Amino acid sequence: MALVTTKEMFKKAYEGHYAIGAFNINNMEIIQGVVNGAKAKKSPVILQVSSGALKYAGPKYLKAMVDAAIADTGVDLALHLDHGPDFETVKLAIETGFTSVMFDGSHYEYEENVAKTKEVVEYAHARGVVVEAELGVLAGVEDDVKSDVHVYTDPAQAVDFVTRTGVDSLAIAIGTSHGAFKFAGEAKLRFDILEEIQEKLPNYPIVLHGASAVDPVAVATCNKYGGDIAGAKGIPTDMLRKASSMAVCKINMDTDLRLAFTAGIRKVFGDTPKEFDPRKYCGAGRVAIQATVEDKIANVLGSENTL
Ligand SMILES: [Zn+2]
């Protein structure tokens, strides 16, 4: 088994009306939890690394741990750069051995986003690496980037963008948002926009960012054991299941992993205050990550038993 690009994964996901989970990794326990979950459910997964994670763990550590995960489990994995902010970070990821990169030029003026994305696509394709780009603006916080409002993706512009840049997949804004505080009122996704894009770009893989469910049980566990996470509200599972049966082939759910890991660790500290063995609490975090990933594969993504 090997590190693969997302090309074949997305083709099968599109035809099979399911999506691939993209899970953010920062350390060994998170990688093991995600990959063990994928193996247990016989599902492909995408491991993704933000520029914050690159700084935190270092590209060499992350790549070596991902190689170890493949050798240990035999699961096919794609290693993806999440929200690559500039050409330099994209280059670093490709030199490290990533099979997929996102270049996020969504905060640039449209023509500048087209030009910069095209440059990244040419560089990546020449090295056998696929590229994800983004159009529209998601509300919420991603690393250091923050936005207060949604700017929904314009379907006609999506066609123009994909045609001119040659990008392999496109993240769109239809109402999901980054972070744990997604909706003040009722959750609402613009399926009409997704449908129109699917009509205009048949068989083209679409990506949803900021699609965590913000599991109320994980939030409650964090808060019960000394946390203070208020008013969190995520994307309902049935909406994500519907999106993954349409053109959405990749769903990002980082917040749910963060909450699961933290809840697992907090519970150990709360239940056994004398404990100070890192294997005991990080191990509980790893178990919580695996349970979350298995639940996503079975109930949100629909990718169980597709390996
Ligand atoms: Zn994102």
Active site residue 82: yes
Query: Residue 250: helix, strand or coil by DSSP?
Result: strand
Query: What is the distance in A from the centroid of ligand 1 to the CA of 209?
Result: 5
243: which 2 tokens? 């999106």
In single-letter form, the type of residue at position 164 comes to R
Query: What is the distance in A from the centroid of ligand 1 to the CA of 276?
Result: 34
Q: How many CB atoms lie within 10 A of CB 31?
A: 22
Cα separation, 179 vs 31, in Å, equals: 20
Cα separation, 295 vs 215, in Å, equals: 11
173: which 2 tokens? 């804004």
Query: What is the distance in A from the centroid of ligand 1 to the CA of 28?
Result: 22
> Which residue in 67, 76, 82, 143 is the catalytic one?
82
**Residue 141: predicted pLDDT:** 61
Segment holding 22, helix H or strand E: strand 20-24
Check: CB of residue 105 under 8 Å from CB of residue 73. Answer: no
Q: Structure pTM? A: 0.95
Cα separation, 30 vs 35, in Å, equals: 9
Segment holding 257, helix H or strand E: helix 254-271
227: which 2 tokens? 């946390």
Beta bridge partners of 137: 151
Distance of CA 277 to the CA centre of its chain: 31
Segment holding 50, helix H or strand E: strand 45-50
**R_g of the chain computed on alpha carbons:** 18
Query: What is the distance in A from the centroid of ligand 1 to the CA of 286?
Result: 23
Query: What is the distance in A from the centroid of ligand 1 to the CA of 26?
Result: 15
**Residue 143: predicted pLDDT:** 55
Surrounding residues of ion ligand 1, Cβ less than 5 A: 142, 209
Query: What is the distance in A from the centroid of ligand 1 to the CA of 210?
Result: 6
CA atoms lying within 13 Å on the CB side of residue 102 = 31
Q: What phi, psi does 219 have (nearest 5°)?
A: -60, -45
Give me the tens of pLDDT residue by residue for the chain, a chain 307 residues long.
589 999 999 999 999 999 999 999 999 999 999 999 999 999 999 999 999 999 999 999 999 999 999 999 988 899 999 999 999 999 999 999 999 999 999 889 999 999 999 999 999 999 999 999 999 888 766 655 556 667 899 999 999 999 999 999 999 999 888 887 777 667 789 999 999 999 999 999 999 999 998 989 999 999 999 999 976 788 999 999 999 999 999 999 999 999 999 999 999 999 999 999 999 999 999 999 999 999 999 999 999 999 9
